A and B are shown apart, each in its own frame.
Chain A
Amino acid sequence: MGDASFNWGLLHWSVLLPWLLAMAFGIFVGATPGLTATMAVALIVPITFYIPDPNTSLAMILGVSFTAIFAGDLPATYLRIPGTPASAAATLDSHQFAKQGRGREVVLLDLICSCLGGLFSVQALIWIAPQLARWGLKFSNYEYFWLAILGLSMSAVVSIGAVSKGLIAAAIGLLLATVGIDTVSGQQRFTFGNEELMDGINFIPVMIGLFGLSEVLRNIVQPQTFEKAAKVVEQIPSAVKLWLTVWKHKFLVLRSSVLGTLVGALPGAGADIAAWAAYGLAQRTSKEGEKFGKGAMEGVIAPTSANNAAVGGAWIPALVFGIPGDAVTAIVLGAMIMYDIKPGPLIFQESPQKMHDLFSIALITQFLLLICGWIGIRAFGAIIKLPRPIIMAAVVVFSVVGAYAVRNSVFDVWLMLIFAIVGLLFERMAVPLPPLILGLILGPMLEENLRTGLIKSSGDWTPFFVRPVCVTLIAILALGAIAPWLLNRIFSSRPPAKAP
Chain B
Amino acid sequence: MERFFITLVAVFALVGCDRSEKPYPSQAITIVCPWGAGGGSDRLSRFMADHLQMKLGQPVVVVNKTGGSGAVGFSAGANAPADGYTITMATFELSTMHWLGISKLDHQNFTPLVQLNADAAAIILPKNSPYKTLDEFLKFVRENPGKLRMSGTAKGAAWDLARMGFLMAAGLPVDSVVWVPAKGAAPAIVELLGGHIDAVCCSVPEAMTQIESGELRALAVMSPERLKDFPNIPTVRELGVDWEAVGYRGLALPDDAPEEIVKELESACMEIAHSEAFATFMKKNGFAPEVKGAAAFGDFLKAQDEQWHKVIVGANVGATSISGGGTKSHDPGPWAMPTATAVFVVAGCAYHLARRKTSSAQGEKGRDILLLAGAGIFAVYLLLLPVLGFFTMTAVLCVVVIRFLRGGWRPALVSTVLILASVYLLFVKLFRVPLPTGMLF
Contact A414 B382, beta carbon cutoff 8 Å = yes
Q: What are the residues of chain A within 8 A of B373 when measuring CB–CB?
A: 220
Given known contacts A137-B194, A168-B352, A401-B435, A389 and B405 CB-to-CB distance under 8 angstroms: yes
Given known contacts A171-B344, A345-B193, A451 and B382 CB-to-CB distance under 8 angstroms: no
Contact B331 A454, beta carbon cutoff 8 Å = yes
Q: What are the residues of chain A within 8 A of B382 when measuring CB–CB?
A: 410, 413-414, 417
Chain B residue with Cβ nearest A406: B66
Contact B386 A220, beta carbon cutoff 8 Å = no
How far does the Cβ of B73 sit from chain A's closest Cβ, in whole Å? Answer: 9
Residue interface bits A308-343, CB-to-B below 8 A is 1, else 0: 000000000000011100000001111101101011
Chain B residue with Cβ nearest A429: B352
Contact A410 B386, beta carbon cutoff 8 Å = yes
Contact B402 A393, beta carbon cutoff 8 Å = yes
Q: Which of B266-293 contact A (CB under 8 A)?
A: 284-286
Interchain CB contact (< 8 A) of B415 among A219, A394, A408:
A394
Q: Which of A380-414 contact B (CB under 8 A)?
A: 386-390, 392-394, 396-398, 400-401, 404-405, 407-410, 413-414
Q: Which of A135-175 contact B (CB under 8 A)?
A: 136-141, 164-165, 167-168, 171-172, 174-175
Say which size band chain B's interface belongs to. 35 or more
User: Is residue A452 within 8 Å, beta carbon to beta carbon, of the partner chain?
Assistant: yes
Residue interface bits A332-365, CB-to-B below 8 A is 1, else 0: 1111011010111110001000000000000000
Interchain CB contact (< 8 A) of B320 among A187, A332, A333, A456:
A187
User: Is residue A46 within 8 Å, beta carbon to beta carbon, of the partner chain?
Assistant: yes
Contact B155 A183, beta carbon cutoff 8 Å = yes
Contact B66 A407, beta carbon cutoff 8 Å = yes
Contact A459 B330, beta carbon cutoff 8 Å = yes
Q: What are the residues of chain A within 8 A of B284 when measuring CB–CB?
A: 338, 340
Q: How many A-B residue pairs have CB under 8 A?
A: 274
Q: How far is the CA of A186 from the CA of B65 in the complex (A)?
A: 21
Q: What are the residues of chain A within 8 A of B64 when measuring CB–CB?
A: 407-408
Task: State the main secondary structure of chain A at its contact with B.
Answer: helix
User: Is residue B302 within 8 Å, beta carbon to beta carbon, of the partner chain?
Assistant: no
Contact B379 A408, beta carbon cutoff 8 Å = no
Q: Which of B179-217 contact A (CB under 8 A)?
A: 180-183, 186-187, 189-191, 193-197, 209, 213
Chain B residue with Cβ nearest A164: B348
How far does the Cβ of B368 sit from chain A's closest Cβ, in whole Å? Answer: 8
Contact A217 B371, beta carbon cutoff 8 Å = yes
Chain B residue with Cβ nearest A413: B382
Q: What are the residues of chain B within 8 A of A238 when measuring CB–CB?
A: none
Q: What are the residues of chain A within 8 A of B197 when measuring CB–CB?
A: 456
Given known contacts A184-B334, A323-B187, A455-B331, A171 and B406 CB-to-CB distance under 8 angstroms: no
Q: Which of A172-199 contact B (CB under 8 A)?
A: 172, 174-175, 178, 181-190, 195-199
Contact A222 B367, beta carbon cutoff 8 Å = yes
Interchain CB contact (< 8 A) of B322 among A187, A350, A456:
A187
Q: What are the residues of chain B within 8 A of A344 when measuring CB–CB?
A: 186, 189-190
- A contacts with B, residue count (CB < 8 A): 98
User: Is residue A247 within 8 Å, beta carbon to beta carbon, of the partner chain?
Assistant: no
How far does the Cβ of A138 sit from chain B's closest Cβ, in whole Å? Answer: 6
Residue interface bits A409-423, CB-to-B below 8 A is 1, else 0: 110011001001100
How far does the Cβ of A457 sit from chain B's closest Cβ, in whole Å? Answer: 8
Q: Among B6-14, B230-238, B245-253, B426-434, which stretch is in contact with chain A?
A: B426-434
Chain B residue with Cβ nearest A404: B435
Q: What are the residues of chain B within 8 A of A190 when measuring CB–CB?
A: 338
Q: What are the residues of chain A within 8 A of B182 when measuring CB–CB?
A: 452
Q: Among B33-41, B131-139, B254-262, which stretch is in contact with chain A?
A: B33-41
How far does the Cβ of B434 sit from chain A's closest Cβ, in whole Å? Answer: 7
Contact B322 A390, beta carbon cutoff 8 Å = no
Chain A residue with Cβ nearest B433: A405
Interchain CB contact (< 8 A) of A322 among B71, B186, B433:
B186
Q: How far is the CA of A448 from the CA of B320 in the complex (A)?
A: 19
Given known contacts A334-B39, A405-B433, A455 and B329 CB-to-CB distance under 8 angstroms: yes
User: Is residue A447 within 8 Å, beta carbon to beta carbon, of the partner chain?
Assistant: yes
Q: Which of B386-441 contact A (CB under 8 A)?
A: 386, 390, 394, 397-398, 401-402, 404-407, 411-412, 415-416, 419-420, 423, 427, 431, 433-436
User: Is residue B298 within 8 Å, beta carbon to beta carbon, of the partner chain?
Assistant: no
Contact B334 A185, beta carbon cutoff 8 Å = yes
Given known contacts A195-B75, A220-B371, A396-B398, A175 and B342 CB-to-CB distance under 8 angstroms: yes
Q: How far is the CA of A424 from the CA of B371 in the complex (A)?
A: 9
Chain B residue with Cβ nearest A198: B68
Contact B338 A452, beta carbon cutoff 8 Å = no
Q: What are the residues of chain B within 8 A of A447 when measuring CB–CB?
A: 337
Q: What are the residues of chain B within 8 A of A243 when measuring CB–CB?
A: none
How far does the Cβ of A446 sit from chain B's closest Cβ, in whole Å? Answer: 8
Contact B398 A137, beta carbon cutoff 8 Å = no
Q: How far is the CA of A178 from the CA of B348 in the complex (A)?
A: 19
Contact B322 A389, beta carbon cutoff 8 Å = no
User: Is residue B63 within 8 Å, beta carbon to beta carbon, of the partner chain?
Assistant: yes
Given known contacts A221-B367, A451-B331, A393 and B338 CB-to-CB distance under 8 angstroms: no
Q: How far is the CA of A413 from the CA of B385 in the complex (A)?
A: 10
How far does the Cβ of B360 sit from chain A's closest Cβ, in whole Å? Answer: 11
User: Is residue B162 within 8 Å, beta carbon to beta carbon, of the partner chain?
Assistant: no
Q: How far is the CA of A420 from the CA of B374 in the complex (A)?
A: 11
Given known contacts A393-B398, A417-B379, A332 and B38 CB-to-CB distance under 8 angstroms: yes
Contact A195 B46, beta carbon cutoff 8 Å = no
User: Is residue A42 within 8 Å, beta carbon to beta carbon, of the partner chain?
Assistant: yes
Contact B69 A181, beta carbon cutoff 8 Å = yes
User: Is residue A476 within 8 Å, beta carbon to beta carbon, of the partner chain?
Assistant: no
Q: How far is the CA of A174 from the CA of B406 in the complex (A)?
A: 40
Q: What are the residues of chain A within 8 A of B335 when measuring CB–CB?
A: 189
User: Is residue B303 within 8 Å, beta carbon to beta carbon, of the partner chain?
Assistant: no
User: Is residue A458 within 8 Å, beta carbon to beta carbon, of the partner chain?
Assistant: yes
Contact B38 A331, beta carbon cutoff 8 Å = yes
Contact B72 A186, beta carbon cutoff 8 Å = no
User: Is residue B341 within 8 Å, beta carbon to beta carbon, of the partner chain?
Assistant: yes
Chain B residue with Cβ nearest A195: B68
User: Is residue A45 within 8 Å, beta carbon to beta carbon, of the partner chain?
Assistant: yes
Q: What are the residues of chain B within 8 A of A186 when measuring CB–CB?
A: 100, 154-157, 317, 319, 322
Given known contacts A195-B103, A454-B330, A185 and B209 CB-to-CB distance under 8 angstroms: no
Q: How far is the CA of A183 from the CA of B155 in the complex (A)?
A: 6
Q: What are the residues of chain B within 8 A of A219 when measuring CB–CB?
A: 405
User: Is residue A483 within 8 Å, beta carbon to beta carbon, of the partner chain?
Assistant: no
How far does the Cβ of B62 sit from chain A's closest Cβ, in whole Å? Answer: 7
Contact B154 A390, beta carbon cutoff 8 Å = no
Q: How far is the CA of A458 from the CA of B261 in the complex (A)?
A: 55
How far does the Cβ of A167 sit from chain B's closest Cβ, in whole Å? Answer: 7
Q: How far is the CA of A49 from the CA of B51 in the complex (A)?
A: 13
Q: How far is the CA of A35 from the CA of B374 in the complex (A)?
A: 21
Q: What are the residues of chain B within 8 A of A197 when measuring CB–CB?
A: 68
| 8 A–B pairs (Cβ distance < 8 Å), ordered by A | A43-B433, A137-B193, A183-B155, A184-B181, A196-B72, A390-B412, A396-B401, A397-B397
Report which B residues bind A (CB closer than 8 A).
36-39, 42-43, 46, 62-69, 71-72, 75, 100, 102-103, 146, 149, 154-157, 178, 180-183, 186-187, 189-191, 193-197, 209, 213, 284-286, 317, 319-320, 322-323, 329-338, 341-342, 344-345, 348-349, 351-352, 364, 367, 370-371, 373-375, 378-379, 382, 385-386, 390, 394, 397-398, 401-402, 404-407, 411-412, 415-416, 419-420, 423, 427, 431, 433-436
Report which A residues bind B (CB closer than 8 A).
42-43, 45-47, 49, 136-141, 164-165, 167-168, 171-172, 174-175, 178, 181-190, 195-199, 216-217, 219-223, 321-323, 331-335, 337-338, 340, 342-346, 350, 386-390, 392-394, 396-398, 400-401, 404-405, 407-410, 413-414, 417, 420-421, 424, 428, 443, 447-448, 450-452, 454-459
The 10 nearest A-B residue pairs measured at CB: A334-B38, A389-B407, A459-B330, A198-B68, A186-B156, A389-B405, A137-B194, A168-B348, A183-B154, A195-B68
